[in-house]
Structure formats: C-alpha cells, structure tokens
Amino acid sequence: MIQQIVLKSRPVGVPTSANFEILTIEIPELAKGTVRLKAHTFSVDPYMRGRMSEAKSYVAPFAVGEPVMGGGVAQVVESRAEGFKAGDFVLGMVPWQDQMVVDAAGLQVIDGNIAPLSYYLGILGMPGMTAYFGLLDIGKPQKGETVVVSGAAGAVGIVVGQIAKIKGCRVVGIAGDQSKVDYLINDLGFDAAINYKTETNIAGVLAAVCPDGVDVYFDNVGGEISDAVISQINKGARIIICGQISLYNATSQPVGPRIQPTILKKSALMQGFIVSNYASRFPEGFKALAEWVGSGQLKYTNTTYHGFEKLPEAFIALFEGKNLGKLIVEVK
Amino acid sequence: MIQQIVLKSRPVGVPTSANFEILTIEIPELAKGTVRLKAHTFSVDPYMRGRMSEAKSYVAPFAVGEPVMGGGVAQVVESRAEGFKAGDFVLGMVPWQDQMVVDAAGLQVIDGNIAPLSYYLGILGMPGMTAYFGLLDIGKPQKGETVVVSGAAGAVGIVVGQIAKIKGCRVVGIAGDQSKVDYLINDLGFDAAINYKTETNIAGVLAAVCPDGVDVYFDNVGGEISDAVISQINKGARIIICGQISLYNATSQPVGPRIQPTILKKSALMQGFIVSNYASRFPEGFKALAEWVGSGQLKYTNTTYHGFEKLPEAFIALFEGKNLGKLIVEVK
C-alpha cells in the first residue's frame, strides 16, 4: 500500500492542515517507461501555494482530491524504463506519496557524490537556478553596486546574496528573525541585514545601510517591504520579481502605493522571473553553482522536517518564516 | 524689451494660471557663442509638470521666479556663434520668452523644407523619438501581437499606434473623447479605441477588443486605466512606462492594486522610459520617422494655441486632455 497526501480543499488565506488529507492507495502495475520510486526527500516551495488556488497562474492548479505535486528526490525500487535501475537516485516533480509509480521521462538521475542529495532540491536545483539566472540575467549586478534581497534567509535569498558578494557588490538582506539576520551577516558575509519584524522604519534603515542607493532588488516577498526598497532605488535600477510570498495568502486584492511613477523617474526595469523559462540553460547554472559550492564560496543550509506526514506542516511553515535556507522533508 | 513667463509659485495639484506671471526684462548683450532668437513655436509637455515641483525627478526642478524652460523652435535674429546666422531656424530647450539670448551650444539648426517646423517639436522631435525608441526598443512588437497605448491621441500616442500598425500589430488606443476615438480609428487606422471617460468597464471592453490578450502596453497615463490594461497582459508582455499624466497632479501618494503578482505570473517586463537615455541614437530615429512621414505612412497632427501669453493656458490644457496630437503654442 502507498500513502499519499491529497489536497482536500482549496485554502482560503493561510493554508491549514485541514486543507490536506492522507489517503492509502494500491501500488499500481508498472507500465513500460515507468519506474517505481521510494520517496527520499521532498521540497516544499512558496510557489506551490499558487497551484492550490483555482486561479490560473504560470502552472496549472492542483485538483482537489488529487495528490499535491512538488519537487522531490527518490530512489528507484523497480524500473521498466531505459536508463533507470534499482538503487538510482532521481530528481523530479513527484506526487506527495511515500512510494510512487511515475513516467521516467520527467526524471533525472542524480549523483550524491557531487553534493548531498538534498542540494538537488536547493542550491543545485530550482532555488539555485532561480537565484543564478534571476540575479545575473535580469539583475546584471556590477562590481560596487548595491544589491538588496528580500526573503534573504530563504532557499533562494541566501544564494542570491552570496552570488552578489562573489560579483563584488554590497549586499543587504531583509529577513524576519534576529537569528537569520545574524546568520546572513556572520556566516554568509552579507554587508548588512534588516529584521523587518522588529524594524519599524524599514525605508529609513535601508537608506542608512545603502548609502549609495539600491541598484538591484531581488524580491521574494512583495508588499510593504518592497515599497520600502523601491523608494530607495537608483536610476537604472533592476528589480527581479521572483516571489511575492507576503501576498500569496491574501483573500482580497492587495493594494499599495503605485510604483510606476518611481519606475519612470528612475528609468528602472522590473521583470517577473519564472525559472522554467531558463530550462535550456540549466546546465550552465548547475556548473557554476557546483563549482562555487565545491570551492566553498557558496554555503548552503536546509531546515529539515522528518517524516512523510509532516509535509503539510512543513509547507505551512514556509508562510510563517520558520525556515533558514531550504525547507525540506526527509522521509527516507 | 523682452517678455518672459516665470514660475510664480509651485502648483499644488492641477496647475492654474496663478502659478505663472509675465514679466518684462531688458535685452541682454550678446556674449561670444550666444545668439539672439525670436520665438516661433513652443512645445508644452506633460513632463514639465514634474519640473514645477520641488521633488527631484529625472530633470532638475524649475526655480520659482525664473522663466519656465521647454522645447521650442525659434529664429536667429543676431548671432555671435559659429554655424548660426540671422534667419536660421533652430530647435532647443529655451526659456518661455518672446525673445531670448542663449548659448548656441544646445541649439540645432532645422530645415523647414523637410517637414513643417512644428514637426521638430513633435513627430521628428522628442515625442517622436519617445514613441520610436520606447515602442521598438522596449516593447519589441512582433507581427500579429496586440499593442495597447494609453494617451493614444496625444503627441506620443498617435505615433506609437501608427508604428505598431506598420509593424503588423493589432492596435488598441485609449483616449478621453469620442472625437479622439473616431480620429484614431478612422484617420490613423487603429483597430479599436476606447473612450475611458464614458466607458464604465474598461477591462471588460479591453478583453473584447483584445481577444488574444495584450502583448505590449505603452503607458502614458497610469492609474486606473493601467490597472485595467495590466489585468489583460499575456505571458511575456512588455510594458513601457513613458508617462503617468493621471498622477502628476496628485497631492498625496497614489495607491492602487499591487501589480507585482501579475508581473510575476506573466513573466512580464516593465521598464521606465526616458528619451534622453537614447540621445546617441536620435539620428536613427529621425531618419526612420522622416521616411515614414515622407511616404505618408505616419500621419501627424497638432493642436495649436496662438500667442505668447497663451503658454500657461496651453500647458494647463494638457491635463484636461484638450489636445489632439501635439500641443504647441505659435508666437510668430
């Protein structure tokens, strides 16, 4: 028997455990081209909240009653697909199940000797590619410029900040916890970090720690934090819209100060970033990130939940800012 | 004696005639490198509102008590500058004066045989360059795509729409008057045009006239019109922020729906456009625009006020949407 976690109902506002349900299903037969996998580690990511709503986004909504799908590392138990043998570790978009029979076409065999398996869900996976291409391709940070990143202690943010440091920039992170602020400065070498939960005047503090203004803003959170950062941008600034986690659970249309007058006055660029648009260039990103990880220039950390049944709790924790680095669920 | 119009006080909200004053000054001596000009035609432009406020923008504020400066065509009366002789017509940024002694360095001799002199303030000048580079360089319209332009019947908008038609796009204009709507469709060949002053459901009408969504949005106005257009953008849309005239007279911070979630979902690009950033490429723009004007592919029109003392009234009329095409003041 297989355990699976399905979307029981669409969340209204912040997701709760009542939106999910554990079911048990039979193990299906293997068709040609499929493999049976044993789950190893799941990734929980903010973008998945979008798929839980009915509204169209850049990925289709999950169906109610069907298992949630997400990034995961799993081990091949049985294979009817060429190129996959029992014992292999694979990466792919997989259902929230402790075992699963899936088409092998979307899977990629990964090597635990290059990096810990969980890194393929983080710095060498989607969050790492997001940081790499979003910052370098849209942000184009130049030596001596100031880069601000929100959600700075998250899976993407810690990579953005470190790559910006490698590129010779002044780097300021915004996070929601004093221990995260300390980690960014002391462990990752950020020049400054701001705790938005205790800081009452974010724009004022930003002005103090960005004396030359903001050239690149990598935005993971949106909302009032972004209002404060955008008020400080320089002429020719680049703004990468990577996530808007502060708004994902909104139950009415979020409103705020109109930003177009600032975009105009500053001749600034704002671009929405979706990592899948860069799929053809993932090998380039993987190579660069793996080298920096290997040389110790890029540090990485996970927050790990243990146990298959913890998946909903871990996902919900994303919106409470409980994670430092990548939030994963180990089920091995 | 010279007549000049100075900024008497900074406007709060919509400018009024009380913000301006006509003074009389002596004709100064000509220093080497200067010319004395007789005003011919002045340009009044929305961006000048920004210079009347104290707040820093992409051009420095006007000083209270000093003459307003703007684009103008004038005729040389007396010259102490090489390359300029009496009778020449010149284009430049000039003070609101019926005569003026200015440094010749910022002036350009223009040829009334290529096009009417007023065109150098419009389609062959700043508004034309704005339309050309903003649409083509940022908007990158592709054949078959849908281009929406707000402020469509203004000096920039009528050029944007016609260039988009030349490029094979479906073109929809938004304007504030039925006669403008008729002009855009019947005289300029727009596929559709919307009167935002009488239309109560702009988003709904846009959806009807843009059945394939919006690929390029050239925004001259901002505010609620832009909210409606942005709600209809396609994946990969490009948004040129060229003007925000609906917000220029705001006396408090304008608020509206947050647009970053849409920018993210649609992987869209938004860029602030300032024409002076393209100064090095003006010859390219001039050549293309002059050819299209010459071949009749680009039509152009002015709304003309007559008399030097009408400058404030003409400028204020910009914010009342009274102009079709370029608003100019002839003083010759």
pLDDT score, position A59 = 77
Query: CB-based contact (8 Å) between B203 and chain A?
Result: no
Concatenating the DSSP letter of every residue in A62-117 gives PPTTSBPEEEEEEEEEEE-STT--TT-EEEEEEESBSEEEEEGGG-EEE-TTTS-G
Considering only the beta carbons, identify the residue of A57, A259, A261 that sits closest to B265.
A57
Q: Are B182 and B207 contained in the same domain?
A: yes
Q: Which of residues 67-106 of A touch B (CB under 8 A)?
A: none
Q: Structural domain tally of chain B?
A: 2
What CATH number is given to the structural domain containing A194? 3.40.50.720
| Residue A289, domain member (yes or no) | no
In a domain, A294, yes or no: no
Are A58 and B235 a contacting pair at CB < 8 A?
yes
Torsion angle defined by CA atoms of residues A78, A80, A84 and A90, in that order, rounded to the nearest 10 degrees? -60
Give the confidence band of B65 by pLDDT, cuts at 50, 70, 90: very high
Q: Which residues contact B161 (CB under 8 A, 6 or more apart)?
A: B147, B149, B152, B171, B173, B184, B188, B190
Residue B4 has pLDDT above 80, yes or no: yes
Instruction: Pick the residue from chain B with its C-alpha nearest to A255.
Output: B257
Is A295 part of any domain?
Answer: no
- Contact state of B256 with A254 under an 8 Å Cβ cutoff: no
Residue B290 lies in a domain: no
The verdict on A134 and A266 lying in the same domain is: yes
Q: Region A218-222: what's the mean pLDDT?
A: 97
**What dihedral do alpha carbons A77, A81, A84, A89 form, nearest 10°?**
-50
pLDDT per residue as tens digits for the range B21-42: 999 999 999 999 999 999 999 9
* Res B298 pLDDT > 80: yes
Residue A284 lies in a domain: no
For residues B171 and B272, membership in a common domain is answered with yes
B271 vs A272: CB contact, 8 Å cut-off?
no
My answer on whether B162 and B261 are in the same domain is yes
For residue A100, what is the domain's CATH number? 3.90.180.10
**Residues B37 and B70 grouped into a single domain:** yes
Domain range enclosing A18: 2-122+300-330
Residues B132 and B104 occupy one common structural domain: no
The interface residues of chain A toward chain B in range 232-261, judged by CB-CB distance below 8 A, are 235, 241-244, 247, 253-261
Q: Do A256 and B261 touch (CB under 8 A)?
A: no
Q: Give the pLDDT confidence of B100-135 residue by residue, as tens digits.
A: 999 999 999 999 998 899 999 999 999 999 999 999
Alpha helices by DSSP H, listed for chain B, are 48-52, 126-133, 157-166, 178-182, 202-209, 223-230, 260-265, 282-295, 311-318
pTM of structure = 0.93
In a domain, A281, yes or no: no
Residue A287 covered by a domain:
no
**B281-291 residue pLDDT tens:** 999 999 999 99
CB B53 within 8 A of CB B10: yes
Cβ of B270 under 8 Å from any chain A Cβ? Answer: yes
Whether the complex's predicted ipTM surpasses the cut of 0.90 = yes
Chain A, chain B: beta-carbon pairs less than 8 Å apart: 114
B76 and B177 together in one domain: no
Residues B116 and B131 in one domain: no
Contact criterion met (CB < 8 Å) for B241 and A260 = yes
Whether A285 maps to a domain, the answer reads no
Radius of gyration (Cα) for chain A, nearest Å? 20
pLDDT score for A55 = 77
Asked if the Cβ–Cβ distance from B264 to A258 is below 8 Å, we say: no
pLDDT, position A119:
95
B257/A257 touch (CB, cutoff 8 Å), yes or no: no
